[in-house]
Amino acid sequence: MSTAVTKEALVEAILTPMQEALERKGITVDRLAEELNEQLEAQETKVIKISGAPGALFLPAGVQTLVQGDQETVMGVDVVAWGVRQQAMIQALKLLAQFPAEVKRVVHDGTVTQEVSFDRETRDIFDRVAQAFTPPAGE
């Protein structure tokens, strides 16, 4: 005897307990939005070592002396963390359903055709699996 599974039953059985578990640990939609917003404005400090001791009067904004010796000075320079910002932008676009979906046409035995949307990582895995099962030309 089989019982039809509804979308509501799946949400209740899988997603609701997961959401409750995340919320118990303080991971809420608002917190994720705040973290994402911080990542969109991310900065990082690049550390450089120079010979000599520059005068404090000549340091541009965003540059600080971390360690100063007689012969060398270690300085920190605040710069935009472009990698972090780019990943945050991609995540934001995905969450807002604005990231372009990649569609792959899947044909099975020449009879069933299905279009499937993949993110880039899943598409790459799919392509490798498809190549592994594709017979060489002429067979």
What does 32-55 look like in DSSP terms, one character per residue?
HHHHHHHHHT-EEEEEEEEES---
Band (67; pLDDT cuts 50, 70, 90):
confident
The domain of 110 spans 100-134
Please give the model's pTM, rounded to 2 decimal places.
0.53
Structural domain count of the chain = 1
Task: Return the minimum-mean-pLDDT range out of 9-18, 35-44, 46-55, 61-70.
Answer: 9-18
- How far is residue 30's CA from residue 28's CA, in Å, rounded to a whole number? 5
Residue with tokens 């993110």: 119
Winning range, highest mean pLDDT, from 30-34, 63-67, 104-108, 128-132:
30-34
Taking the CB of residue 3, how many other CB atoms lie within 10 A of it?
Answer: 6
Q: Is 107 within the bounds of a domain?
A: yes
State the DSSP code for 70. Answer: S
Token representation of residue 14: 């899988």
Whole-Å CA distances, 105 to 108, 131, 133 = 10, 15, 16
Number of Cβ atoms within 10 Å of the Cβ of 104: 14
- b/e map of 19-52 (b: 16 or more CB within 10 Å)? eeeeeeeeeeeeeeeeeeeebeeeeeeeeeeeee
For residue 29, is it within any domain? no
In the predicted model, is pLDDT for residue 2 greater than 60? no
Task: Compare 10 and 2 and report the one with higher pLDDT.
Answer: 10
pLDDT, position 38: 94
In a domain, residue 120? The reply is yes
Tens digits of per-residue pLDDT, 99-126?
A: 666 666 666 666 656 666 666 666 666 6
In a domain, 116, yes or no: yes
What pLDDT is recorded for position 111? 66
